[in-house]
Structure 1
Amino acid sequence: MKNKTKNLAIVCSAIFLFSTTFGCKDKETKPTEANATEVQAEPEPDFKISLAQWSLHRTFFGTENIDWKNFTKTLMESPDDLLKGKDPMEFPAIAASYGINSIELVNTFYFSKVDDMAYWTEFKKKCDEAGVSVGLIMCDALGNLGDDDPEKLLAAVEKHYKWIDIAKFLGAHSIRVNAAGEGTPEEVAKSAVNGLTALAKYAATKDINVIVENHGGHSSNGAWLSGIMKTINMDNVGTLPDFGNFCIERGPEGCAKEYDRYVGIKELMPYAKGVSAKSHEFDEDGNEIHSDFLKIMKIVKESGFKGYVGIEYEGSELSEDEGIKATKALLEKVFAQL
């Protein structure tokens, strides 16, 4: 009860804040062929490729047609019943088979393992064996960090704590969260600032970043989300710009209102601590038909960002294996053109 009261106080404090202000040198030796080669070693590339686990969601769920209507209910009641395909424990080895050495986990594949440290010890061993590191954990289905009810907001914040602890144990740099809630853009923004601030204070004690993806609704408005980042102004709070998640409003036939993805990427990149290369379909030249990868990566480069760009294939025309390979090939081509 003490911790709950203390954490609620943190959230309330954030609400008040929002309302009042928006080596030693060895002796010289004669150069040798060996150390001359070492001096001329290839510089670290600006961009590397990571693999988002959602690229293989049908592989792990074991079905082409997922029952999204009952997905959340099953996830909450018996999450392992969703896993009818490959064992998610094998994800590090799968990523390594593509020549990729950094992975982005999705918590819904491990929902029943949140308190199982023996599982995570074994998972970390699998990463070490595959030569793969965990970059971040994408966290969903933990409540709305933009909820306007302080009690529900606090509950959502606290549900993320264990995933921050797991991220720390695995050596990740971030957890990806959602700035979701009900209400007007201004109302949700106010609540999201409160929730993200409270969560980031806990994450800072573990040296973990809290990063927000443009993931539908208000969060797909680049100006809205970048405004939240500016208001929070914490070193361990940032964004995960996604190439394709800019649908603000959905209708019966798909996206009814979409934000300009190139404008959105430019607005989110100053706060980015990762980048997500969403892909669906490709033309005969291997280019993604919905997003101009070269145009986007020029924006990414101009922002000064350096680091991992995560493959997140969600298409249906190619298999997940083919889609991952196509996205990787496209990113490599674009990196060479920059």
Structure 2
Amino acid sequence: MQPTTRRDFLRNTALTVSGSLLAARTAWAIPAIGRTRPSHLKLSLAAYSYRQLLQGNEPKMDLFDFVNLAADQGLDGVELTSYYFPADVTTEYLHRIKQHAFVLGLDISGTSVGNNFCVPDGPARDKQMELVRTWVDRAAELDAPVIRIFAGTVAKGDDEAKAVERAIDGIKASLPYAAERGVSLALENHGGITATPGQLLKLVKAVDAPNFGVNLDTGNFHGEDPYADLAELAPYAVNVQVKTEISRKGQKKEEADLAKVIDILRTARYSGYVVLEYEAAEDPMKAVPRHIKTLRNLIDAR
């Protein structure tokens, strides 16, 4: 049996979409996610928000402490960012952290992998492919529905077009195994060959699978109008990471208009997790609860 593509999925379920999405389908090689129901947003928090406390030779907290902090703030879920797991991750550890979150009323909204699919064939690429496969297995054990992945970086002197093709091939090769384990892969807009909507869509157009989409990071577009860029990609989002700052081309960072971000997601009928990934300079112990309260009010306003 041939694997189901997103086109097949949407056609078979006979989804009806708005005129704007129909126009977008004409322009794009694969259809945007054909959501027809009102947006349903859930609030999560990325462990990366507390990176200063979670990393180093003597970290001040671990992922269990992070989950406790999230529960204290009345969240719906947590992103257990892969960088802060112990070096010797075991299935028993994954089950313990999953159970810890569960009894505190938290979903594990997702996890991440710091992969690089731009590297050429050889042992280094094999290592990257195995890294993604490993985190697919771990996500499955955690019952995490999505992993945010990266396209990778173009090495100095490498041909960018070839690197893009290698990134596409890496994503395509990883998706069937992820589907077997019940995990979706979400490609993040993260600079380099995914720095602009056009660059990211070039990769997205080339991949057609129901368990693939965009991890929309609201702080990672730096063009003239980052909000317009976010609106262009929102129909493809399967996970959203919210930053509290944005950077326009040639300008200093400014405070993000979180109300506008939430409105963009609702207009696109995005349903799923809105994950705060705090990166600003203020102490996260003080700033994160304030931003969580703002996002909660915006989400619950309807």
TM range (shorter): 0.7 to 0.9
1:117 is aligned to 2:91: yes
RCO higher in structure (CA 8 A, sep ≥6) = 2
Unaligned runs of 5+ in 2: 1-28, 31-37, 247-252
1:129 is aligned to 2:129: no
1:330 maps to which of 282, 286, 294: 294
- Does the Cα contact within 8 Å between 1:83 and 1:109 map onto a contact in 2? no
The residue type paired with residue 88 of structure 1 is L
2:130 maps to which of 158, 176, 179: 158
C-alpha displacement of 1:332: 2.9
**1:61-80 CA distance string (max 9 Å, x none):** 2xxxxxxxxxxxxxxxxxxx
2:119 maps to which of 139, 147, 152: 147
Larger radius of gyration: 1
Instruction: Report the structure, 1 or 2, having the larger helix content.
Output: 1
**CA 1:184–1:87 in structure 2 vs 1: closer, same or farther (change >3 Å)?**
same
**1:67-102 CA distance string (max 9 Å, x none):** xxxxxxxxxxxxxx5452112222222210111130
**1:19-51 CA distance string (max 9 Å, x none):** xx99xxxxxxxxxxxxxxxxxxxxx97212101
Residue 277 of structure 1 is matched in structure 2 by 242
1:189 maps to which of 146, 164, 187: 164
2:144 maps to which of 160, 163, 172: 172
1:220 maps to which of 195, 200, 204: 195
C-alpha displacement of 1:301: 1.3
Partner Cα separation in structure 2 for residue 184 and residue 97 of structure 1? 48
The residue type paired with residue 327 of structure 1 is H
What's the secondary structure of 2:79's corresponding residue?
A: strand
Residue 231 of structure 1 is matched in structure 2 by 206
1:87 is aligned to 2:81: no
Unaligned runs of 5+ in 1: 1-20, 23-43, 62-80, 248-257, 282-287
The residue type paired with residue 53 of structure 2 is T
Q: How many residues align?
A: 259
Residue 181 of structure 2 is matched in structure 1 by 206
- Does the Cα contact within 8 Å between 1:154 and 1:195 map onto a contact in 2? no
**CA 1:184–1:305 in structure 2 vs 1: closer, same or farther (change >3 Å)?**
farther
Partner Cα separation in structure 2 for residue 259 and residue 82 of structure 1? 40
1:48 maps to which of 42, 50, 63: 42
Residue 12 of structure 2 is matched in structure 1 by none
What's the secondary structure of 1:232's corresponding residue?
A: coil
**CA 1:336–1:159 in structure 2 vs 1: closer, same or farther (change >3 Å)?**
closer
- Does the Cα contact within 8 Å between 1:222 and 1:263 map onto a contact in 2? no
**CA 1:300–1:184 in structure 2 vs 1: closer, same or farther (change >3 Å)?**
farther
RMSD of aligned C-alpha atoms? 2.6
1:264 maps to which of 216, 229, 247: 229
Partner Cα separation in structure 1 for residue 128 and residue 284 of structure 2? 32
What's the secondary structure of 1:220's corresponding residue?
A: coil
Counting aligned pairs with the same residue, the percent is 25
What's the secondary structure of 1:313's corresponding residue?
A: coil
What's the secondary structure of 1:146's corresponding residue?
A: coil
- Does the Cα contact within 8 Å between 1:148 and 1:181 map onto a contact in 2? no
C-alpha displacement of 1:159: 1.3
C-alpha displacement of 1:246: 2.2
Partner Cα separation in structure 2 for residue 185 and residue 259 of structure 1? 24
1:293 is aligned to 2:258: yes
**CA 1:259–1:169 in structure 2 vs 1: closer, same or farther (change >3 Å)?**
farther
What is the TM-score of this pair, normalised by structure 2? 0.78
The residue type paired with residue 313 of structure 1 is Y
C-alpha displacement of 1:111: 4.7
C-alpha displacement of 1:290: 3.4
- Does the Cα contact within 8 Å between 1:280 and 1:315 map onto a contact in 2? yes
C-alpha displacement of 1:148: 3.1
Partner Cα separation in structure 2 for residue 223 and residue 297 of structure 1? 22
Partner Cα separation in structure 1 for residue 219 and residue 159 of structure 2? 23
**1:214-246 CA distance string (max 9 Å, x none):** 112221211111221121111111111111012
